Structure 1
């Protein structure tokens, strides 16, 4: 039995060695019962986890005995809704009005569940996982434990990653130029456009090789019958035009409805989470967006998201060749 809310992503592009690393740590290593995949929003964590989930699900030999289960941890409500669906889909017996979260935990912790791979996706918020004065409920209380079970967490937060998986943390790096080009080529209807290396390189640089941004830009071009050159003109026209382009959501069957695949939504959520946990870091990031180079602003956001904000030796040194330049994309959102 399996529960996966999304089909396999036909446009998925393999990131060098990531699937193999997760597979090895989770399924080959006897000590790898919990692994966390951590990276900034929009970098493709959910899609990598989805690819691994379908790999295990479709296995006819190596993992044929595994059940694959997917639970989003965006909030306690999404977690509970998924648990309710799992109880019904798996036909798990329970007594009275027992909490579906507890039913799933007890079932997966028992021998009758057999081998399983559980993906806890978007586990970004410490207060949702471990509770707070404002949110007393704790998802952590409902995570199963079994010698036959494995859990993969995806998260933007280094703090969450370490808390749930200890040292078994895989940090997702940025897409390389060739990987980004391959994703663009798979995503566009008019694939002949990708033959212009200079134009493609310029577009991917503007989109910072971010998988979500590439998918969103491709969806916009496909829907509006816009070619890369015209999209770049719109992107570079005004800050308002750029914000509107990056705010346009898209549906591809492999993203949550609430997100709609919009890069703007992803960045705003990331910033709000930083602000909720560290107001000084959020203030510094806002200032950096208006004053500093791309590397400075992005380093501050990366370190804030990963739980190590405000390290002067990392955030105050601009990259060579970028001195005096401003990251227009980040700056526009700061002003917006």
Structure 2
């Protein structure tokens, strides 16, 4: 709390230095206490993915300099839990202030900045940009400090423009929130995002870490921890089969284990449900309670991806169309010609009857504009990890899509 001092009928503030001849008067406030504002409990059941943790600690150590880093990858890959672990480990550093902001929208960003302002004791009269800027400046003086910006999926909010969307919506105004991000010394900012453009767009490419699916051993350890039961020898093959079916994605594994624990069904019974078409979607859409995630956001792996899909539908309709058409095709070894046909399909035409057929002269029939449109759409699908390159041979590239992404798209 700031205060003022009277000095010969003058009012002066904190941290002032008064020179009077050869006498110097110092008025300094006591050192501020560290402030910690994290909305989730520490995850005591976290399976620490040591390769990622070590790399994060290497590029984002506590230092006297300002530094940033980002974790990016498919929704449900574990970015938030890795960031949460980083935040709590920084809480153990003496006098370190740690703040957490949900960065998925202007609304959540502003709400969390208001909560920080209240915790820091800033004036209740501050509103709008004055409040946001006051929080930024106050954090910058809270040495040392860490700020986590979670789920920054709409990068336009932070100054990363998208040429295609900007061209389609020239009059659309998007608030810029990047000017409110603290940048003071002895501070570290950690971002999480589903959009790979954060690498190079907000943080230096070498300071961005892609969070992939878990290794088989990590996935097995997470499953047993979440289910609170060690798999016996009779279950070993079924567990391996289940983890493969869930593509080693942490959120899908945690939700499956929580469901089995709650309903007391076996791994084999769960697999049988997954293989029953009608029951499969129902069980994958189940949202289990998780104290380490926001209660107002669905924890269903299928619903989780809908956030990115809705964003793509607004930003790049061609990418969204490719995604939906390929939800009903083979998810492996997808040739670019097949993706191009899906991209250029016109509703009401009979082109759908021929999707899947490849032609040697496809490339000559596509205009440069169409080719650019397809390439941009494919790039955006790869940015969100919905598509990934499977093989490149003699300049010929094929792609693959997560099976669960296909199912989320086809719902």
- TM-score, normalised to structure 2, is 0.71
Q: Secondary structure at the match of 2:191?
A: strand
1:196 to 1:73, Cα distance in 2 relative to 1, 3 A: same
Structure 2 residue corresponding to 1:23, chosen from 31, 37, 57: 57
In 1, are the aligned partners of 2:157 and 2:176 still within 8 Å (CA)?
Answer: yes
- Look up the match of 1:269: 307
- Look up the match of 1:67: 97
- Look up the match of 1:165: 203
Deviation at 1:214, TM superposition (A): 0.5
Mapping for residues 45-56 of structure 1, pairs under 5 Å: 45-56=79-90
Unaligned runs of 5+ in 2: 1-34, 340-376
Mapping for residues 1-336 of structure 1, pairs under 5 Å: 1-27=35-61, 33-57=67-91, 59=92, 63-93=93-123, 96-97=126-127, 99-109=130-140, 111=141, 113-130=142-159, 133-167=171-205, 168-192=207-231, 196-238=235-277, 240-294=278-332, 296=334, 304-306=381-383, 317=398, 329-336=404-411
1:96 to 1:261, Cα distance in 2 relative to 1, 3 A: closer
In 1, are the aligned partners of 2:391 and 2:399 still within 8 Å (CA)?
Answer: no
Cα displacement string for residues 72-106 of structure 1 (whole angstroms, at most 9, x for unaligned residues): 10111111111111111122347654643222112
Deviation at 1:149, TM superposition (A): 1.1
Q: Secondary structure at the match of 1:291?
A: coil
In 1, are the aligned partners of 2:76 and 2:251 still within 8 Å (CA)?
Answer: yes
Q: Secondary structure at the match of 1:191?
A: coil
- Look up the match of 2:3: none
- Answer 1 or 2: which has greater strand percent: 2
Q: Secondary structure at the match of 1:50?
A: helix
1:97 to 1:203, Cα distance in 2 relative to 1, 3 A: closer
Cα displacement string for residues 125-161 of structure 1 (whole angstroms, at most 9, x for unaligned residues): 1233338754532221211110121100001111133
1:135 to 1:195, Cα distance in 2 relative to 1, 3 A: farther
Name the Cα RMSD after superposition: 3.0
The CA distance in 2 between the partners of 1:161 and 1:250, in whole Å, is 32
What number of residue pairs does the alignment pair up?
322
1:34 to 1:282, Cα distance in 2 relative to 1, 3 A: same
In 1, are the aligned partners of 2:302 and 2:407 still within 8 Å (CA)?
Answer: no
The CA distance in 2 between the partners of 1:307 and 1:212, in whole Å, is 16
Unaligned runs of 5+ in 1: 320-325
Q: Secondary structure at the match of 1:36?
A: strand
The CA distance in 1 between the partners of 2:199 and 2:303, in whole Å, is 22
